[in-house]
Structure 1
Amino acid sequence: MIALNQRLQAVSQYIKGPILADIGSDHAYLPIYAIQNELCQTVIAGEVVRGPFEAAHLNVEKYGLNQSIDVKLGNGLEVIEENNKVDSITICGMGGPLIASIIENGKSKLKNHPRLILQSNIQTYTLRKVLHRLNYHIIDEALIEEKGHIYEIVVAEFGSEDTDVYDLKFGPILLRQKSDLFFKKWNRELEALENIKSNLDSNKHSHRLSEINNEIKMIQEVLK
């Protein structure tokens, strides 16, 4: 049996339905774990970089799962067939803007309205904006700390829901829960913004300063 790191272990809990597509599958650890633990029946493991793609192939063979896991070389959601029956899509270990662009560029593959399970390293705001635009609403969120870095997991399903700028920035569910990790993450963010601000020239960078001041104000408001 394969073991997963804390992040992928958390992501695996949200997989639903018999068919999973794991995009940016790297060494196919998540697909292998999902099949071994009967979280789904078949997986499309997509990888755009040839090295990890070949490593994924070797791992799938090593565990004897060629019948259950289809490792494909391709960019984003292009590894999914047009008339697909995929139930869940996982995209993990990338920045929010990259995940957002993968979903945006591959939106024709979302006609079946799969659940989206997305683990963002940074800038999840961009990702939430695209989900909202594509008529997906967030049903769950989680924060995971691993090796000193705090990661966000966003789980979304098809269907519209009212949202505001605070929901998009902080996460509607994370904002309601306000866990210790939430405070830790946003206090760190606040410190980083204050540091950037102290290095900016008020004449040369007035627009950027205004943006930072607005962001600082929002974070301080939420952390009260």
Structure 2
Amino acid sequence: MTMNHAKQTILVVDDTPENIDVLSGVLRPGYRVKAALNGERALKIAADEPRPDIILLDIMMPGMDGYEVCEKLKADPATAKIPVIFITAKTEVADEQRGFELGAVDYITKPISPPLVQARVRTQLALYDQNRELERKVRERTEELIETRMEIIRRLGRAAEYKDNETGLHVIRMSHYSRLIAEALNGDDEWVDLVFSAAPMHDIGKIGIPGFCNAI
């Protein structure tokens, strides 16, 4: 997959301006770089469109530290999938483990090595792009399957019309009535769609059966 670095944005979060300058200098030739000096500002930038493609996050900051920032990012559906790399002077294994437990994808210790930072960022952005592309394909395939399923139901409804038009209309009405009932029961979208799709099948066994048989 060919990545367009010019369109990718990196958010650098550090309470020390000099550290931001160093990281920006390392990354700016290939990426757009945004910066935040504290956790609150970082959360705001991350939530605003266009969202960053990756976040480089310091841990030791006054007020809201990097761990808390990461936790809040992962708790918000709008920012949960943005990869976070911790860049910090904390070198204990326990610190690194906590970072990964909170959802970080990598952990780089200071002082930084520019080639290492570039390589780690490049790798995580490639993985992020691949995941987004995979999700897009899954969504497309899911939509295709849903449309195929609905087309089968529509065809069954038309098949019911061979018996009589009222039976065909009844099959269609039942699906819509069932959706309304499912929504009134506060079902989630997936369940409502399932009920909508399954409802027309309740009468499908009558297709092609003579009317006098149904009356027995």
TM-score by length of 2: 0.36
Greater RCO, 1 or 2 (C-alpha within 8 Å, sep 6+): 1
**Which structure is higher in helix share?**
2
- How does the TM-score come out when normalised to structure 1? 0.35
Larger Rg: 2
